[in-house]
Amino acid sequence: MNSANLSRNEIDNRFKWKLEDIFPDDGAWESAYTDLKNTFPQLSEFQGRLTESAESLLDFIKKMQRSEELLGRLYAYAHMKNDQDKSVAAYQEMYERCSSLLVDFNQSVSFFEPELLLLSEDKLKTFFSTEPKLEQYRHFLDNILRSREHLLSAKEERLLALAGEVVQAPAEVFGVWDSADIIFPEMEDENGKPITISNGLYGKYQQSADRRLRRDSYKGLYKPFIEHRNMLAANYSAIIKNHIFQSRARHYDSTLEAALDSNNIPVSVYHNLIKSTNENLQPLHRYNKLRKRVLNLEDGVHDYDLRAPLFSTANKEYFWEEAKQLCVEGAAPLGEDYQNLLRKSYSEGWIDVYENRGKRTGAYSSGTYGVHPYVLMNYNRTLGDVFTLTHELGHALHTWYTINNQPFVYGDYPIFLAEVASTTNEALLQQYMIDHAADKTEKMSYLNAYLDKFSQTFYRQVLFAEFELQTHTLIEKGEALSADKLDELFGQLYQTYHGPAFVLDRETKALWSRVPHFYYNYYVFQYSTSFTASFALAARILKEGKAAQENYIQFLKSGNSRYAIDTLKIAGIDMTTEEPVQTVLDYMNKLLDELEEML
């Protein structure tokens, strides 16, 4: 179905999400908007008397969270109405009004954490003993109070807040240069015609079977980054210095500790991830050796060879009904209840399926407490779209299980866990596709795609995480980071990770300079931990059956009721140990065995 040029009204309602399940119409949204604004003065009245009594604290938390729940509904309706057709001015305005409403809400409750942090431990214990209804909020309060030692004086906190936009300046400079000012060179396309390289063409050509296209697009993409290497090195050093400033101002021992503390993640998780990966580089070396052999790369594997398909297959189309069924069948190891929820999502208006004029690109899952989750797709019949669907439905069912088993205070889940459920769905579907391939060639292509995820998602992101730790540590020790030093550090890591079959090019050394996530403060490691947890979970579920399945569903139900590390332990995954990484890379070796036997 080619719907890109259809208006929203021309799309059949069967393929649209039902936002009326949040609010029946725009008028109801307007009424709720007004009602919420009227609650803000009531919240502000608690300032200065929040901790006078246990009853006062409990009353405020309940009122604050009722307002927050309604704000979530208002935002969900507005942003999804806007995303389904961005040409409608009324929904653009509705979405912008939600942003202003959020600012007003935050101002009305801004006193909450500072006043709570002044509450003594003895007085809090008394509150819990005199008001049993506070017990439900114990973890919620503990998560705030554990940061007490990193709280500064009111004047110091104000200074840090005022510096907020300044400390983000390097990230903004990189973003503006990378999206607006960068100038890419020309290259010849597959027909020999001159074209200007772009990020979109780069992504397309890196997956081409034509090595000349891969090489030229790779070198072309890196040309402006190498030309501006000194500016980019200075800019990256500046963001690291900002991270150091923030961590030392708040009395953390390191930037790593400061960054991980927001989710209460032990630094041992980060160090164990790097250590256990470095002890298990052989599967990636083995895969690159196999790539060199299959693609007949006599000079060795270059970075521009890592995304090329090893086996050519016909471009099969997957119609919507087939995609839905594949997602259900892939999820069979998660049980009948899970599969029935997937069917429910198809029949009860959770998913906005096809593209239309003005619709937001890409895909996502979104949810708000008290209403079923939603999924935005731009489905176009490719296998990639099938995996996108199962990925987003993994998020959606994580949300569904959470909001139907937790009170509002714990009705969400932390970013550290956000990608686990979605990638577990992908892993199970990937194994299903391998097991049910129509022929040998199709099976080999599925194995190739699966192995690429280990290479490009797991190993690549651990490599990035190690580079990020090295660069922060060097500046924390007082050393400087020049462009030459950054090239050297990154090049050494890349060669070590990819092994003897890999050839390190000049451009590859500069890869550090084009990764926007390096400005996010130790963010990239979460891609690897999520991948590790999800594939370890999938392996357990496939091997152990019902017991592992039940533990996994319990994990999905836990929401924010525990710290992220403890929530994963419910499913049987302990990220403070090296075992999950070992499990995942043992599985990669198993896939390599299977593929090599077929060659």
- Is residue 550 within 8 Å of residue 270, measured between CB atoms? no
d(CA 321, CA 318): 8
- The pair of three-digit structure tokens given for residue 467, joined into one six-digit string: 């580079």
56-80 as b/e, with b when 16 or more CB fall inside 10 Å?
A: ebbebbebbbebbbbbbbbbbbbbb
Tell me the sheet residues that pair with 376. Answer: 352, 364
Minimal CA–CA distance to 461: which of 510, 518, 509, 525? 525
Active site (annotated) includes residue 392: yes
Query: Do 413 and 560 contact (CB within 8 A), yes or no?
Result: yes
Catalytic residue chosen out of the listed positions 30, 96, 392, 442: 392
- Please give the single-letter amino acid code of residue 171: A
Q: Hey, what amino acid is at 217? A: S
Q: DSSP code of 12? A: -
Contact, 29 vs 78, CB < 8 A? yes
Do β-strands 364-366 and 374-376 pair in parallel, antiparallel, or remain unpaired?
Answer: antiparallel
Structure tokens that stand for 592 in this block = 């390599």
User: Tell me, what amino acid is at 555?
Assistant: F
Non-local (6+) Cβ contacts of 179 within 8 A are none
Question: Which ranges in 85-168 belong to alpha helices (H)?
Answer: 89-108, 112-117, 121-130, 138-145, 154-162, 164-167
Question: Could you tell me if residue 349 is left (phi over 0), alpha (psi between -120 and 50 degrees) or otherwise beta?
Answer: left
Query: Which distant-in-sequence residues (6+ apart) come within 8 Å of 314 by Cβ?
Result: none
Beta strand 364-366 pairing with 351-352: unpaired
Dump the DSSP string for 229-273: HHHHHHHHHHHHHHHHHHHHHTT-SSHHHHHHHTTT--HHHHHHH
Residue with tokens 């969400």, as numbered in its chain? 412
Residue with tokens 């490599």: 463
Q: How many CB atoms lie within 10 A of CB 114?
A: 13
Alpha-carbon gap, residue 192 to 522, rounded angstroms: 42
Cα–Cα distance, 489 to 470 (Å, whole number): 8
**Which amino acid appears at position 268 of this protein?**
S
* Residue pair 313/442 in contact by the 8 Å Cβ criterion: yes
Spatial distance between the Cα atoms of 396 and 401, rounded to a whole number of angstroms: 9
Between the two ends of the chain, the Cα-to-Cα distance in Å is 37
Number of H helices, E strands in the chain: 28, 5
Residue of 125, 128, 171, 119 lying closest to 148 (CA atoms)? 119
453, amino acid identity: K
Whether the CB-CB separation of 152 and 250 falls below 8 Å is answered with yes
Run of H or E including 352? strand 351-352
Task: Provide the β-strand partners of residue 352.
Answer: 376
**So which residues are the catalytic ones?**
392
